[in-house]
Amino acid sequence: MNYQYRKAPNPTEFSVFTGLGTAALDLKTLARDVPCQAACPAKTDVPAYIALISRGENEAAYRVNQEDNVFPGVLGRVCTKPCEAACRYAWTNAEGPVQICHLKRSAADRLKTPPTPLPPWFQETGRRVAVVGGGPAGLTAARELRRYGHRVTLFEREDHLGGMMVDGIPSFRLPLPTIEQEIKLITDSGIDVRLGSDVDRSGLAKLLESYDAVCVATGTMKAKSLDLPGIDGAEVIPGLRFMKQYNAGVVKSMKGDVVVIGGGFTAVDCARSCARAARRIVGADDRVTIAYRRTEHHMAAEMDELEEIRLENIDVRTLVTPVKAKVENGSLRSVVFQRNVMGDDGSDAGKPRIVPIPGSEFELPCSHLIVAIGQDAETEILPEGIALADRQQTAEPKLFVTGDFLTGSLDVIHAVADGKSVADEIDRFLVGEVRKKFHVSIELIDNDGETGRFRDHDLQEAPAMPLRSIVERAVGNAEVEKGLSDEATRVASSRCYLCNHKFEINQDSCIHCDWCIDVAPRDCIKKVSRLFVDEVGSPREYVQTDVAAEATYIYIDSDNCIRCGKCLRVCPTGAITMRKMERTACCSTKNAAGEVRWERLTARLDERKAARGRT
Amino acid sequence: MQRRLQFLRRSEDEDIKDAGLVLDFDEMARKGVMSKEEKNVAKWYGIYASRQPGNHMARIVIPGGVLTSTQARNIAKVSEKFAMGKLNITTRTSIQLHWLKLGSLADIMRALADEGSTTRHGCGDVTRNVTACPLAETCRYRRFNVLPFAQRTARRLGDSHDLDNLPRKFKISYSGCGAGCAQPFINCVGAIAVGGREGSEEPRGFKVVIGGGMGATPFIAKELFSFVPAERMVDLTRAIALLFRDHGDRFNRSKARLKYVVERYGIERCREIVIENLRAEGVSTEGFVVEGFREADASYPDRPLAEEDTVGTDGSVTLRIMVPKGEMGHRQLKRVAELSEIYGDQRVRTTNRQNLELHGIPKENAEEVKREIRKIGLGTTGFYGLRDIVPCVGTTYCPKAVSETRALYDLLQPLVAQPKYAGIEKAAVINITGCPNSCSPYRIADIGFRGSRIREELGSTEGYEVTLGGTPERLGEVFGEFKRDDCPGVVEKILDTFIALRSEAESLSDCVLRVGAEPFKKAVYE
């Protein structure tokens, strides 16, 4: 008799049960299941480090961040948090996302042993690379190139490294020691640093001659100008210049009203710095006003920071555009603004359109006008005939560009991501092959589905970041955000769903008893009649049913899974497994037959370490 | 409902139990609803939710499976009034009433209590109905009558309120000899009478095995003591219950049963804890033999229950009553109770194959009583054989079930009743369970069926995992998975192959043990 029944396929979201997943499906599953990591430009393994923090393993958590995003202490304070916007809490919980950024800082602030530079991945290649620009993108590129085994020289115009991290961000948001410590971790890995080296076009030409590759990461340092009738520009202070002076301690105090034009991070930082310089935050009469042409929702700052801005007695005027300035006796007296209204449709370079309101002009008195409407790259450095395109490698094969210099002003996390990717490109250019690639390491966790999470963890209130009082903020540049307490760190870290754990039902073992559905803490397991997968086999849609005969599959919807493991524990047939996935850097090896195999880079490093121990 | 965040590593059931195990069924009747927590605690009162929304099941506890005829009549009356006239006998010798409405539950408990019956501890994380071999009192192979021990154990543990909140259910059975008709090896505690036959000077005692159980992961119990003096057997059950209470997993209910404690700790460590528990309660362990106790006469038949019309040690006949699917009507039970009064010992006994027994029937009345039984639609032959198929209630009532076990029962009955199988009728038993909980212990039957759904190209259909070669001491091996309508064909092939391969009078499971499953697989799949 033929009792081999025809069945619908047994879907699985990994190409292998355990081991290294090298298929497109594996990367897709990781990206879909771990949205924070997918959203992070630097692909930081967020659930991995949050799990470590919740266990008090701050050194290990820091190491994960150091590996992925280079500047954990910095980004734990000033990251723009694309991960939090993507966090699954955003659509499954009323308490807001897991405070990923704050947690990163919690680990960085609690290190008992100082961090050390990361080890190289490959042996010395003897190739020489020049990196121009010591900001986050340049520093990251330098570190990664060094790990590839290349000799790296880093040229920086200023007398210090750090770029915008040091010059552009006020120390009450990002203290200097934090930046310096993390820069040292990079330079200590064996990078030749040349401070005070202003590389211009001719200098770059020389570097191109003497190095195997050159990477320009000089950022955007040229302020965009604002043509405002009534002034010739001398009265206008570019935002970045103001921040640089403020951070250098040149701006001691200010007198008179200040207007800051712009809605980006620099505008907000300028205003907050002015408020301190003017002692405005404790109620001095001089006004500090941010004027922005769109609404608060279109500003770079988050609502939390805007709230702090108001507490610091900074006025935020939105939907206003400056139309002219008034100067009396050689001194700036006021700026005239026109009101705007949001346009119904259309967009202006990716932002909503605004429409000026005729006759709505009004005058805002001011003694200082800071314009922070963005910066451009100093492209004059590029050799003649070489223009910026959308690639990191330029028309001159040895010349690469990255970071803000290529993309325009973004933020630290994007600069880090760019620095990592340009290092990969430069290595491929120098060596002629892809030596490092990311695959997905898949590990079976055979512990009855215990992640340590219960439904209770989801229902906790997100702890608030403790802030320095307004009175304290007025004195010096003490950091406003004090960092989460131990207890708050414990609560915040235990909220994480640990999305890197994948619960999956082997449909060949499932008997449709529905016991998992009965114990499910939310609507995470469903009877499904049809499951639609995309071209790589990743489930995209399903048709749910309540009728046993129509149920082809019992399906765990990872989007709603809270990783509590109850389904696995109750499953009578062992059909449910829990596997942990991790984005893993791999290198390729070829066997005698010329077949390429991928192995984990960390495994290779461990082997090397063990070999050193033996000798 | 509001909740208190506790982050305790324990199951939600433990929270509920901690809040109290007492319910007011009259109040629930007034409210008209039972909360999730109340549903959980209702199990301690023997009340379960039924598959049919709004309906409940009550499980009447019958220690040792012995009802007085008055109790049987009363249960029939309660069934008629509240349970649509139906009642079901279980494999733990209890009786279940279905179709009960919330508003009637308190009245049902009161009505049962009128004649000394109770549903208390019918379910829940407590010592469940303590069972004994169906023929405990009169079996000619027994060492001694174990029924009083079962009843005393039920009383002692039921009255021990410090054992009201165990990690999971706790099951105890007493067998009169090594044949193990009370299935000692699949109970948490299996007590097997050794020594002390009437007329012998050998001391009476029990071999005690613990940590057995069916469910999703079946375990065969391990020997705790090879001899325990009979007078301290009940004390020992309490000491084992304390071991379970204190060391069972209270987080993962799927791994909470005593069998997992034994697996985790090992039998030696369990024995140490049990001995500590005994000493703490002032019970001597003198005379306990850990291993190596040998009876003077260790003989017993392989399947005593397969014998028809057993004549007891008192010279009277034990008449067994086949209850198809374990379900009967209230009139049938009432008539059986009457027959026990007219001809028997005024007792009605329930068996772990979901049948009934009448004891003490004078030989001369046996045929007449059988006729009376057949008149009410119940059977008098085929016990512990191919036709004595034991299905759980399946999707007919049970919310946990996956398959309609009774439908398979109906498909198999005509098949196994064929004359060609007359010669092997007593050589194999079939158990059908609707889900992995194994209320009908399918893994210890010669042929076992466990309900499942089989995935199709679109949707799914009812099916069964089939196991082959189980005995009360040995688990059957998984044979294959088949759609329900294919199962009769599979059974026919297995039985035909068995006839062809059978050596002398061996059972199907012994045949499988001897020749392996391959010849059977070949016959089925080719």
> Tens of pLDDT along A24-62?
999 999 999 999 999 999 999 999 999 999 999 999 999
Whole-number pLDDT of residue A604: 59
Whole-number pLDDT of residue A615? 44
Name the residue among A3, A512, A513 with its Cβ closest to that of B482: A3
Distance between A551 CA and the closest CA of chain B, angstroms: 5
Contact A454 B490 (CB under 8 A): no
Please tell me the number of Cα atoms within 13 Å of B323 on its side-chain side.
27
| Average pLDDT taken over every residue of chain A | 92
* Minimum CA–CA partner of A494 in chain B: B7
**pLDDT given at position A605:** 62
Reduced to 3 states, what is the DSSP secondary structure of residue B444? Answer: helix
Question: Which of the residues B455, B462, B478 would you substitute to probe the A interface, choosing the one with the greatest number of A C-beta atoms within 10 Å?
Answer: B455
Q: Do domains B141-280 and B390-525 have the same CATH topology?
A: yes
Residue A1 clears pLDDT 70, i.e. is over it: no
Question: A514 to chain B, minimum CA–CA distance in Å?
Answer: 8
CA-to-CA distance for A26 and A20, rounded, in angstroms? 9
Residue bearing the bigger pLDDT, B488 or A390: B488
pLDDT tens-digit series, residues A284-302 = 778 899 999 999 999 988 8
**A555 lies within 8 A of chain B by CB:** no
* The token pair that represents A437 in the structure block: 């690639």
Q: What are the residue boundaries of the structural domains of chain A, listed by start?
A: 1-33+436-453+497-615, 34-116+454-495, 128-221+377-435, 223-375
Q: Is the pLDDT of residue A74 over 90?
A: yes
Q: What's the rounded mean pLDDT across residues A424-438?
A: 95
A448: nearest CB among B6, B7, B252: B252
Which of B460, B481, B483, B486 to probe the A interface (max A CBs under 10 A)?
B460
Indicate the burial class of A231 (C-beta count within 10 angstroms; 0-12, 13-18, 19 or more). Answer: middle
The answer, for A5 touching chain B at a CB cutoff of 8 Å, is yes
Contact status of A3 with chain B (Cβ, < 8 Å): yes
Q: Do B525 and A454 touch (CB under 8 A)?
A: no
pLDDT at A608: 60
The answer, for B35 touching chain A at a CB cutoff of 8 Å, is no
Give the CATH superfamily of A223-375. Answer: FAD/NAD(P)-binding domain (3.50.50.60)
Residues 373 to 402 of B: which have CB under 8 A from any A CB?
Answer: 400, 402
A237-260 per-position pLDDT tens digit: 999 999 999 999 888 777 889 999
What are the residue boundaries of the structural domains of chain B, listed by start?
Answer: 12-113, 141-280, 307-375, 390-525
pLDDT of residue A246: 92
Instruction: Flag whether residue A548 sits within 8 Å of chain B, measured between CB atoms.
Output: yes
Q: Least CB-CB distance to A549: which of B9, B459, B525?
A: B459
Predicted pLDDT of residue A611: 63
Answer whether residue A474 shows pLDDT above 90: no
Alpha-carbon gap, residue A371 to A356, rounded angstroms: 20
pLDDT for position A233 = 67
Domain A34-116+454-495 belongs in CATH node 3.40.50.1220: no
pLDDT at A588 exceeding the cut of 90: no
Distance (Å) from the alpha carbon of B20 to chain A's nearest alpha carbon: 21
Residue B256 forms contact with A (CB below 8 Å): no
Residue-level pLDDT at A276: 87
As a whole number of angstroms, the distance between CA A223 and CA A500 comes to 42
Q: Would you call B457 and A548 a contact, using CB atoms and an 8 Å cutoff?
A: no
pLDDT of residue B344: 95
Alpha carbon distance A20, B145 (integer Å): 63
Under DSSP, is residue B161 helix (H, G, I), strand (E, B) or coil? Answer: helix
Domains A128-221+377-435 and A223-375 share a fold: yes
Contact with chain A for residue B404, Cβ under 8 A: no
Question: What would the pLDDT profile of B240-290 be if each residue is shown by its tens digit?
Answer: 999 999 999 999 999 999 999 999 999 999 999 999 999 999 999 999 999
pLDDT of residue A476: 78
Q: Which of A174, A157, A76, A144 is nearest to A405 (CA)?
A: A157
By three-state DSSP, how is residue A89 classified? Answer: helix
Segments of chain B scoring below 50 in pLDDT = none
Q: What is the per-residue pLDDT for B520? A: 97
Taking residues A88-105, what's their average pLDDT? 92
**Residue A613's pLDDT band (boundaries 50, 70, 90)?**
low
Task: Note whether B452 contacts A459, CB cutoff 8 Å.
Answer: no
Whether B439 has its CB under 8 Å from any CB of chain A: the answer is no
> Are B100 and B83 in contact, with CB atoms under 8 Å apart?
yes
- Say if the Cβ atoms of B459 and A552 lie within 8 Å: yes
CATH topology for the A128-221+377-435 domain: FAD/NAD(P)-binding domain (3.50.50)
Please report, for residues A208, A381, A407, A424, B139, the alpha-carbon distance to residue A198 in angstroms, rounded to integers and kept in the order given. Answer: 15, 10, 22, 26, 105
pLDDT-derived band of residue A595, with 50, 70 and 90 as boundaries? confident
CATH code for the domain defined by B141-280: 3.30.413.10
Q: Does B140 contact chain A (CB < 8 Å)?
A: no
| Whole-number pLDDT of residue A351 | 78
User: What's the topology of domain B307-375?
Assistant: Alpha-Beta Plaits (3.30.70)
| Strand ranges (E), A506-565 | 525-533, 539-544, 553-556
**pLDDT above 70 (res A319):** yes
B390-525 falls under which CATH superfamily?
Answer: Sulfite Reductase Hemoprotein, domain 1 (3.30.413.10)
- A4, A5, A451, best to mutate vs chain B, most B CBs in 10 Å: A5
Share of chain A above pLDDT 70, in %: 96
Phi and psi, residue A182, nearest 5°: -75, -30
Using a CB–CB cutoff of 8 Å, tell me whether B459 touches chain A.
Answer: yes
- What's the rounded mean pLDDT across residues A591-602? 84
Q: What is the pLDDT of residue A607?
A: 61
Answer CATH for B12-113 from 3.40.50.1980, 3.40.30.10, 3.90.480.20, 3.30.160.20? 3.90.480.20
- The SS3 call for residue B500 is helix
Pick among A453, A512, A519, A576 to test the B interface (most B CBs inside 10 A): A512
B3 contacts in A (CB within 8 Å)?
456, 459
